[in-house]
């Protein structure tokens, strides 16, 4: 009988980069023992246009004799489960608040080892062009995981659509809403479904990456929230493997390769910043 993890992995898009004779020539990255470099570095990603930059570095690092296996997941749960269970070596899809919430809820011994890119959060709509046009009883959807629910509610509070109790942060829930003058219907859904379901709601609070994956214009939000570095996407490993030299070398090459920022800016335009 398949475990949920194995069943999920069968649905993943698997990309393997094979090593070349460079390993034999001693071209592995600095400080990487050949025995370790011969193992595939397994990187878990959530589906996103930003993954093209990771795939570029996977191809480049081949010349150093480091094999890379990229696994793309279709949700935000399995990448941490896979990491905790040892099915992958590092993942790259989450910010610190999300990671800390997962660690608290699941007891995973994971560690953020380096920051990556940062994308904006936006309020999108297929029905209205301005916040002033939002009608009484309008429906608003947003990601249903605890951290991004809180972040969406904070944004709705910031633009004046709702009022949260004082002191509410990214851990806010709908029970913290103390003012809702337009009697908005607040509907949490799976994060990836917010953009796809814009035709069924009045507003959706989501990320440009999901808007783009849904075939829509990521630059078409009514309003954006420029995030702090708190919401930078981080590279995450098991705590015991935080100093894995293959991970360090991959991140160093990712950060120092100009094409990475070019790819990300092409995908997101001005809706992205960099934490390194």
Tell me the pLDDT tens digit for each residue of 54-74: 999 999 999 999 999 999 999
Comparing 229 with 61, which gets the higher pLDDT?
61
Q: How far is CA 154 from the centre of its chain?
A: 19
Residue 210 CA neighbour count, 13 Å, CB half:
26
The whole-angstrom distance between residue 180's C-alpha and the CA centroid of its chain comes to 30
Residues 143-162: what's their mean pLDDT? 95
- Measured distance CA(84)–CA(106) in Å, rounded: 10
CATH topology of domain 4-119+230-274: D-Maltodextrin-Binding Protein; domain 2 (3.40.190)
Length of the chain: 276
Q: For the chain, which residues make up each domain, given as ranges?
A: 4-119+230-274, 121-225
Q: Given this chain, do its domains 4-119+230-274 and 121-225 carry the same CATH topology?
A: yes
Architecture of domain 121-225: 3-Layer(aba) Sandwich (3.40)
End-to-end CA distance of the chain: 43
When pLDDT is cut at 50, 70 and 90, the band that residue 7 belongs to is: very low
Do residues 188 and 172 lie in contact, with contact meaning Cβ atoms separated by under 8 Å?
Answer: no
| pLDDT of 87 | 98
């Amino acid at each position: 009988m398949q475990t949920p993890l194995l069943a999920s992995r069968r649905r993943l898009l698997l990309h393997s980069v094979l090593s070349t004779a460079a390993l034999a020539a001693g071209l592995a990255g600095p400080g990487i023992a050949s025995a370790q470099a011969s193992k595939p570095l397994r990187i878990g990603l959530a589906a996103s246009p930003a993954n093209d930059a990771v795939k570029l570095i996977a191809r480049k690092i081949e010349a150093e004799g480091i094999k890379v296996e990229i696994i793309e997941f279709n949700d935000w749960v399995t990448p941490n489960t896979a990491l905790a269970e040892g099915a992958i070596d590092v993942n790259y899809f989450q910010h610190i608040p999300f990671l800390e919430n997962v660690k608290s809820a699941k007891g995973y011994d994971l560690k953020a080892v380096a920051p990556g890119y940062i994308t904006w959060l936006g309020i999108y709509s297929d029905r209205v062009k301005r916040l002033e046009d939002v009608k009484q009883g309008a429906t608003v959807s947003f990601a249903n995981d605890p951290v991004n629910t809180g972040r969406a509610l904070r944004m709705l509070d910031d633009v004046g659509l709702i009022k949260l109790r004082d002191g509410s942060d990214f851990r806010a829930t709908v029970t913290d809403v103390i003012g809702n003058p337009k009697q908005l219907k607040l509907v949490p859904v799976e994060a990836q479904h917010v953009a796809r379901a814009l035709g069924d709601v009045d507003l959706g609070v989501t990320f440009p990456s999901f808007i783009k994956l849904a075939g829509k214009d990521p630059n078409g939000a009514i309003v954006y929230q420029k995030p702090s570095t708190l919401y930078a996407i981080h590279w995450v490993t098991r705590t015991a493997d935080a100093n894995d030299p293959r991970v360090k070398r991959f991140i160093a090459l990712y950060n120092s390769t100009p094409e990475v920022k070019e790819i990300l800016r092409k995908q997101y335009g001005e809706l992205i910043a960099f934490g390194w």
